[in-house]
Amino acid sequence: MSEDGEKTCPFLIESGCSVYSDRPDTCRMFPLEQGIIYDVQKNKSRMIHLFRPPDFCLGQHENKTWTTQTWTQDQKSVLYTKMTVQWADLKRLFLVDPWGQEGPQGPKAKMAFMATYNIDRFRDFVFNSSFLSRYKLNSALVKRIRLNDVELLKLGFEWVKFFVWGIKTPSIRMR
């Protein structure tokens, strides 16, 4: 956060949010809070929403009524929400220390961090390392991930499950 007294968001400037069109999901959905419930039997995560706006939220005094669905659409958050659930599904696996003796600075952690937080480097890794000669990806998927960050991030989630925990995925097969 910023080094000011209120520790404000570093993207906050005099005129408002400086990254408004690319703001994160939690900012889009405010004043709704998001949480994830994991259904053990269905092996699936799903999102829940809580509405407890803080006093400074002026929107709560407006007359217009929103549902979670209409608010999600209005804030163009549908895809963000979908990706948040997929991320939560992966994040759940980190509840147990996945690094073992390597620790959080080891190769597994570096790979996991790159594939989920540094999409440009992950694309470079996929296309400019031996990755595609070691793993077989569907050709349509290869085309999609070359240009589409969302598709690449989804592959990143699957890759981390496979690389860190050895969880088989339909998209990545050994050659």
The encoded tokens of residue 46 equal: 């799903």
19 binds ligand SF4 (CB under 6 A): yes
Rounded to the nearest whole angstrom, what is the least distance from the CB of residue 11 to ligand SF4 in the complex? 4
Give the nearest distance from C-beta 4 to ligand SF4 in angstroms. Answer: 13
Could you say whether residue 57 binds ligand SF4 (CB under 6 A)? no
Pick the stretch among 23-31, 61-69, 91-99, 102-110 that binds ligand SF4 (CB under 6 A): 23-31
Distance CA 44, CA 136 (A): 26
Distance of CA 2 to the CA centre of its chain: 23
**What is the rounded CA–CA span in Å between residue 78 and residue 155?**
19
Cα 56 from Cα 54, distance rounded (Å):
6
Q: Determine, following the binding rule CB under 6 A, whether residue 31 of this chain makes contact with ligand SF4.
A: no
Q: Which is nearer to ligand SF4, 10 or 103 (CB)?
A: 10
Q: How many residues bind ligand SF4 (CB under 6 A)?
A: 8
Region binding ligand SF4 by CB under 6 A among candidate stretches 9-17, 64-72, 131-139, 144-152: 9-17
Cβ closest to ligand SF4, residue 20 vs residue 127: 20
Name which of 59 and 103 has its Cβ closer to ligand SF4.
Answer: 59
What is the rounded distance in angstroms from the CA atom of residue 114 to the CA atom of residue 109?
A: 9
**Site membership for ligand SF4, residue 37 (CB under 6 A):** no
**CB neighbour list of residue 139: distance below 8 Å, 6 or more residues apart:** none
Burial environment of residue 87 by CB neighbours within 10 A (0 to 12, 13 to 18, 19 or more):
middle
Rounded Cα distance between 146 and 124, Å, is 10
Using CB under 6 A as the binding rule, whether residue 9 contacts ligand SF4 is answered as yes
Binding residue (CB under 6 A) for ligand SF4 from 2, 4, 6, 17:
17
